[in-house]
Amino acid sequence: MLLTSNGIHEGPTLDALRGLLGKPIAEARTVVLLDAMLPFPGDKTVMLRNIEQYRALGWAEVDVLTLFSGPRSLVESRLRAADVVFGYGGSNHWLAHAWRESGLAPVLREVLDEQVYVGTSAGSMVFSSLHEAAVEALDDHEEVELLQLDSVGPVFPLFDWFVVTHLGAPYFPHATDEWAAATAARLGGPAWFLSDGSALVVRDPAAEPEVVSDGHWLRFDASGALIEAAPAPIGG
């Protein structure tokens, strides 16, 4: 698994993808899942631009899919045909709900044993046992209410840590190091906060992930204490 903040870009994230894939991108097929973004109204220019950037990596085939695109058997066959399943961003709560509600979560669990999963933003945030706790920590109540979700949770709980994306991004001015520290203190479990140039490589869900980055990231323990950062904080 490659859990990114903002997709695949030239540098560490692209190198990590190539390493996980084990063959040239030009020989690989990918399927892009849009479920996390589609509940939200409004302009989708940024989404289309991001998908085009992902397509421009040079895939042999790029399929585009939602988990409710058709009969479950057809959606499942398209997921299994891809070398890389790419979970696009939006609402992590809706994306996890869509996997469960469609009945395709067990298929994804099998796919993870054989294929590569790449997440961006919300697509990276749907596998943690801390998913429900993150609603309070990140103040996501309004989003959950908008989506009319009676309950929230992960697709399935692979990790006991949580990942938060877009640290320091100009389009999320609140996402400062100070905000990250306050959020980690509320979460009640280990957490990674990633800038848009950072990602986590997960080869074994029971082991610590490997961070790949040419940007900024923070790692907090379950008590909310900062235990790793890059670049290191002044005086750290």
pLDDT tens for each residue of 182-199: 999 999 999 999 999 999
Give the amino acid at 67. Answer: L
Answer for the pair 219, 192: CB distance below 8 angstroms, yes or no. Answer: yes
My answer on whether omega of the bond before 231 falls inside 30° of 0, hence cis, is: yes
What pLDDT score was predicted for residue 231?
Answer: 85
Using 50 as the pLDDT threshold, list the residues of the chain that sit under it.
234-236
What pLDDT score was predicted for residue 228?
Answer: 95
Q: How far is CA 111 from CA 65, 104, 150, in A?
A: 16, 11, 28
pLDDT digits (tens, 9 = 90+) for 57-102: 999 999 999 999 999 999 999 999 999 999 999 999 999 999 999 9
Distance of alpha carbon 6 from alpha carbon 111, whole angstroms: 23
What pLDDT score was predicted for residue 234?
Answer: 45
Rg of the Cα atoms in the chain: 17
What pLDDT score was predicted for residue 53?
Answer: 96
What pLDDT score was predicted for residue 233?
Answer: 52
